[in-house]
Structure 1
Amino acid sequence: MTVHPSLQTYADAWTHSIESIAELVQPLVEGEWNRRTPCPGWSVRDVVSHVIGMECEMLGDPRPIHSLPRDLYHVRSEFTRYMEMQVDVRRHHTAPEMTSELEYTIIRRARQLRNETRAPDTMVRAPLGAEQTLELAMRMRAFDTWVHEQDLRVALGKPGNLDSPGAYITRDCLLEALPKVVAKEAGAPANSAVVLDVHGPVEFLRTVRVDADGRGTVDGAPSLGPIVTLGMDWETFLRLACGRVRAAAVRDRVKVDGDADLAEAILREFAVTP
């Protein structure tokens, strides 16, 4: 158990997801590690490599010294280049090497979490040499690990855990980014409201409100006259918000009421993960 209850919530969600990942990949034969996942440019091996690499960074391990190939089409920014380093360095690792490193990393991180005594506001290392609070770092690891668990489940044809603890942390992380999508990226007019109605294993109704100055906020209160209402299932919301699918590919799974042009703009900008 960690000292602070807020950290324990994230630790429990992370544990559930990373143990699910270990269970998913343990029986895979060599060829299955090369299956394509919904995460752009990444195979099953790549997703697991990323998870291992990020947990090693949480442990304070040094980053690998490695030169990336120049032909990786999905590496388009300094952030994606940073993330790719831990992935590419493991691209030729065998199935036993991958599962062994994953298992060892989980053991090390679980021990670290059990012995965690730092306050939630302690500053720790973040990607690209930045810093973030320990609470934010653990929240993002719970979010990231659950999303990648879902990537692996899609690739391997083993759906599940759509309502596990990490799902609710992911929901909250994605919803926090919606005001920017609606107000800034999609250009919703001032003094308007956009309602998001999501059903399925995780259900919620949220309203993004744009004030007179064009700033967006999100809350759980219904709107009497939304300019747009978007209805979809939880898995479609997840795939759109995480950039795993384009809106055109799931058009039949999204119900639109109201301003069609604004709805199109919102769906076009819906992806909020890097």
Structure 2
Amino acid sequence: MTVHPSLQNYADAWTHSIEAIAALVGPLAEGDWNRRTPCPGWSVRDVVSHVIGMECEMLGDPRPIHTLPRDLYHVKDEFSRYMEMQVDVRRHHTSPEMTAELEYTIIRRNRQLRNENRAPDAVVRAPLGKEQTLEVAMQMRAFDVWVHEQDLRAALDEPGDLDSPGAQVARDTLLAALPKVVAKKAGAPRNSAVVFDVHGPVEFMRTVRVDAEGRGTVDGAPSLGPAVTLALDWETYVRLACGRVRAAAVADRIKVDGDQDLADAILREFAVTR
């Protein structure tokens, strides 16, 4: 059997992005694996190690037994320690070791997807020993792999795939986080609206509405009198939302109309992943 039809778009997006990663890193010289990426604290090798490690966890492989060094400045909490384990254990792996493990992991995951017959609401393991549905797990793997593909492209100066299937998954995943960013974290006033006008390879306009109880929702209907409108390109939106850059560094790529203080608060809280 194949993956459930409602999960096929996540499988397709994952496949497209992870094959792009394999193509990007396959020809790299040993020194190129040490290039810094926009992902804080991680090199090209580290990003690929993370991807391999997370896919191995989807396969049900046991996590490595490993003690992290104490001087990793980007490891600040339990979640980052969890993620770092799969990375640090591979930090001294050579280029051939990295590409071989990546290729083998892709083969195994492709086989798993071809044989996947669980329902979307089947419960699978999540980071930190938690649980999630298979649908959420596949969505997050498609999203994560695309974001890290972009990290690698930035490090290797190989732009592309900003409108790929993974980009569409990333759009939906990041949009779902907007109400919390605007209503809760940035503290937008009750009975207000904030418009996001995004252009480029992926284009959309969305309105986050904050109701009388302070709850936020997002929809595609325009607002006649928004408190603030933020216009920016898709690549900048992704870099901000994924914590790859601060708003001050890309201020020239963001147009603000309306309440500047609210816009600043939103941009300050815009990162929803790392």
For normalisation by structure 1, the TM-score amounts to 0.99
CA distance in 2, matches of 1:238, 1:230: 14
1:149 is paired with a residue whose SS is helix
Give deviations 1:120-158, integer Å, cap 9, x for gaps.
110001000000000110000000000000000000000
Tell me which amino acid in the other structure corresponds to 1:164.
Answer: S
1:130-169 matches, within 5 Å, as 130-169=130-169
Partner of 1:92: 92
Partner of 1:65: 65
Give deviations 1:49-94, integer Å, cap 9, x for gaps.
0000000000000000000000100001100000000000000000
| Offset, 1:178 | 0.7
CA RMSD after TM alignment: 0.7
1:1-274 matches, within 5 Å, as 2-274=2-274
Identical-pair percentage: 84
Give deviations 1:163-207, integer Å, cap 9, x for gaps.
000001001111111111111111100000000000000000000
| Offset, 1:250 | 0.2
Q: Comparing 4-13 with 78-87, which one deviates more in the overlay?
A: 4-13
| Offset, 1:4 | 1.4
Q: Stretches of 4+ moved more than 3 A in 1? A: none
Cα pair 2:34 2:43 within 8 Å, conserved: yes
| Offset, 1:6 | 1.3
- Stretches of structure 2 lacking an aligned partner (at least 5 in a row): none
- Stretches of structure 1 lacking an aligned partner (at least 5 in a row): none
CA distance in 2, matches of 1:216, 1:138: 26
Cα pair 2:22 2:99 within 8 Å, conserved: yes
| Offset, 1:2 | 2.3
CA distance in 1, matches of 2:266, 2:39: 21
Tell me how many residue pairs correspond in the alignment. 274
| Offset, 1:3 | 4.0
For normalisation by structure 2, the TM-score amounts to 0.99
